[in-house]
Amino acid sequence: MPRPAQTLLPAPQPFLLVPKTLRGALMSACAALAVTALSPTAFAQATTPGAAQMADNPLLAEWDTPFGAPPFDRIEADHFIPAYERGMALHKAEIEAIASNTAAPTFDNTIVALERAGTELSRVGRTFGAIAASATNDEIRDIQSTMSPRLAAHSSAIFLDEDLFARVDKLQQDAGRLTLNDEQARVLERTHNRFVRAGARLEGADRARLAEITESLASLYTAFSQNAQKDAEEFALVLDSDADKAGLPDSALSAAAQAATDRDMDGQHVVTLARSSFEPFMTFSPRRDLRERVFKAWTNRGDNDNDYDNEETIRQILQLRLERANLLGYENFAAFRTANTMAGTPEAAHDLLSEVWEGALAKFEQEEDQIRKAMADAGATHALEPWDWWYYADKARADLYDLDEDAVKAHLSLDNIIEAQFAVANRLFGVNFTERDDIPIYHPDVRVWEMTDADGEAIGLFYGDYFARPGKRSGAWMSALRTQHKLDGEVLPLIMNNCNYNKPAPGEPALVSMREAEVVFHEFGHALHGLLSDVTHPSISGTAVDFDFVEFPAQIYEHWMRDEAVIREFATHYETGEPMPAALLENMRKAANAKSGFSNVEFIASAFVDLAYNRITDPDMIAGLDVNSFEDGVLAQAEMPHAIEMRHRSPHFRHSFAGELYAGGYYTYMWAGVLDNDGYAAFEEAGDPFDPELAKKLYDNVFSAGNSRPAMEAYTAFRGREPSVEPLLTNRGLNVAKPEM
């Protein structure tokens, strides 16, 4: 799809788009300057470092790298605070200039000026964010703890600036009389909405209290995340004997050896709490005692009554969220969080979860019966506990479907899956990827590709960081080092995917499970949402959409990893190069929903708990909250089976307590599940997973559109109607009636 002429400029990133990089207070020097009568220009000049300092700090200099990419190879930890100081000072000057403008507010002198403001601060924040998430250490954590409350205060000061909001508010009131195109009208509406939701209409003591709450929450989110990561890194199960290693396939042993090497334990084998280490061990180890030990370490991350215990942090977060929601006129935080989203209310979100829950429980009961049979066949007489589930589920699946997971993984090398994700993007959207070795990276594991359109024009850079290691947080995610926009010429996006797969020994291939391959596609769906963005204004670029729509592009992209043509082409044996045998492919297809009950129950359980926390309306209840008892109560009400644990227990539930993107909104994965199954059904109905007309609609209305229109409008423009839940229930095998009691 041809795109306009492009310039490789560092992108201005607006404060409205990237709150994580703008949560914090001004440094003391900035505060001192603020009380003087300096003009914005003098203020910026007074805080501009000298030439010598700029030369020594790459974050303070212009980046002469290809694509203006971050010079990770030259950045040191002590460069960040001076760069943050300068970025905040410049941003403050830009905001003052907008707010104090004596000319009547216009879209250009107010909204466009806000879109351009904060370029340098965003550049620093996004660069720091990548390192803090993927290559952290104690020095980086200290900077994170120092800067998060300061940046939060800086952001609050902007949103609570009365003169600035008066200009934005005046424009919104006059919107019907302004000559704006559709995108400009959307940007104005979303900008005004963000100010209102940040408390711009509050007065007096309420305004000051809201700023205090925002600053405190930023510190608590950082503390929660760091505690969860540190507690997880404290655990390492050393497999000392052959008995400890019994049953583990070569791929798991190789990964355990590499994990030991990463921890300076050469020659040993270590199981960690990375999911890619945890799940294979739980699936293949016959050592029930060790499985129990690993499982309890996994579920108790952040809940070990040590320096990293998160229970009090959770109480403080919930108290402050409730107080803030009340200040803004909402009954609870969940009501605040779901307002202006596709769901609209926490009740609507809960209703969807409940609708799927019944089928998930019924499917789970079928799976439980199969597992009890597998236990009986194996001579096991003990009760079925959560640490038994993976082990016996694998045996039951092997018996029912004759499926050898090791044989599946032998055909799923990570390199091939990466090539598959690129090939699908090419067939759907006409884009190509070429690996680059001249882009600076922060760790040797990171790979970088240039994405070009059908005419060979550069569209952006894609970074892939796929392996687990110490200093990298768990999970998988997409992030943006720079977002696309066309405010000052075409600014190209720099988009990153992170996963946590086991790194193989040197010379060996990285082999992944089918679910892990789907996660690669999932995160790349997010990446394409950023890379294919084609909007003018930064604040609505890429993934800056309603939080319960943001997972749709990622989850629909997973479906192409399950396409038989893709599997036949890219699922080739890592040694022979032969495609996956038809019998294995068929068995894999039959077994696709073998654990659907389990996976949906463990997910919905976490979503129920997340919603329940954030629907609390009584501060006294929060003050006396016992996290374990609260979880137990919510799950008992839902009739949670004993033999399964929720996917994320509260003390390490980053989605809920390490920030606000998914707080009170973990349900969004299920919400997006309705959209992605219904959306992919359009391709199935067309009889072609690469139907050109549908691919263009998907590109035009979703992947390239950013937040240029409301989410439901975007979906229906692609699909031709509103979504149905039936494809999700069918595809996940949840059309199961729960037996009568």
Residue 567, C-beta contacts closer than 8 angstroms, at least 6 positions apart: 561, 580, 585
Q: What are 91's strand-pairing partners?
A: none
706 vs 507: which has the higher pLDDT: 706
- Specify whether 523 is catalytic: yes
CATH number of 311-403+595-666: 1.10.1370.10
- Find the range with the poorest average confidence among 79-83, 278-282, 503-507, 519-523: 503-507
Residue 427 to residue 536: CA distance in whole angstroms = 26
DSSP label at 63? -
Residue 269, token pair as written in the block: 């084998």
Phi, psi dihedrals of residue 511, rounded to the nearest 5°: -105, 140
pLDDT tier at 33, thresholds 50, 70, 90: very low
pLDDT more than 90, % of the chain: 87
Question: According to the model, what pLDDT value does residue 407 have?
Answer: 92
Mean of all residue pLDDT scores within the chain: 91
pLDDT tier at 737, thresholds 50, 70, 90: low
Question: According to the model, what pLDDT value does residue 54 have?
Answer: 60
Question: According to the model, what pLDDT value does residue 95 have?
Answer: 98
Question: According to the model, what pLDDT value does residue 373 have?
Answer: 95
Residue 79, C-beta contacts closer than 8 angstroms, at least 6 positions apart: 57, 58, 59, 60
Residue 568 host element (H or E): helix 564-570
Cβ atoms of 14 and 539 closer than 8 Å: yes
- Find the range with the poorest average confidence among 10-19, 507-516, 559-568: 10-19
* Domain segments of the chain as ranges: 19-159+161-197, 235-299, 311-403+595-666
Question: According to the model, what pLDDT value does residue 39 have?
Answer: 40
pLDDT digits (tens, 9 = 90+) for 405-459: 889 999 999 999 999 999 999 999 999 999 999 999 999 999 999 999 999 999 9
Tell me the pTM.
0.89
Question: According to the model, what pLDDT value does residue 340 have?
Answer: 84
pLDDT tier at 157, thresholds 50, 70, 90: very high
Q: Concatenate the DSSP letters of all residues of 692-719 into one string.
A: HHHHHHHIIIIITTTTSS-HHHHHHHHH
Average pLDDT over residues 87-97: 98
Residue 149 host element (H or E): helix 138-159
Question: What Å distances lie between residue 372 and 388, 411, 639, CA to CA?
Answer: 10, 30, 20
Residue 719, C-beta contacts closer than 8 angstroms, at least 6 positions apart: 678, 679, 682
**HEC letters along 399-451:** HHHCCCHHHHHHCCEHHHHHHHHHHHHHHHHCCEEEEECCCCCCCCCCEEEEE
Burial class (CB in 10 A: 0-12, 13-18, 19+), 475: middle
pLDDT digits (tens, 9 = 90+) for 278-304: 999 999 999 999 999 999 999 999 999
pLDDT more than 70, % of the chain: 92
Residue 146 host element (H or E): helix 138-159
Residue 178, token pair as written in the block: 């302004």
Question: According to the model, what pLDDT value does residue 689 have?
Answer: 97
Domain 19-159+161-197, CATH among 1.10.1370.40, 1.10.260.40, 3.90.1170.50, 2.40.128.260: 1.10.1370.40
Q: How many CB atoms lie within 10 A of CB 525?
A: 27
| 19-159+161-197 and 311-403+595-666 in the same fold | yes
23: pLDDT strictly greater than 50: no
Cβ atoms of 67 and 492 closer than 8 Å: yes
pLDDT tier at 49, thresholds 50, 70, 90: low
Question: According to the model, what pLDDT value does residue 505 have?
Answer: 86
pLDDT tier at 402, thresholds 50, 70, 90: confident
Residue 301 to residue 305: CA distance in whole angstroms = 10
27 vs 457: which has the higher pLDDT: 457
pLDDT digits (tens, 9 = 90+) for 459-468: 999 999 999 9
Catalytic residue among 405, 523, 602, 631: 523
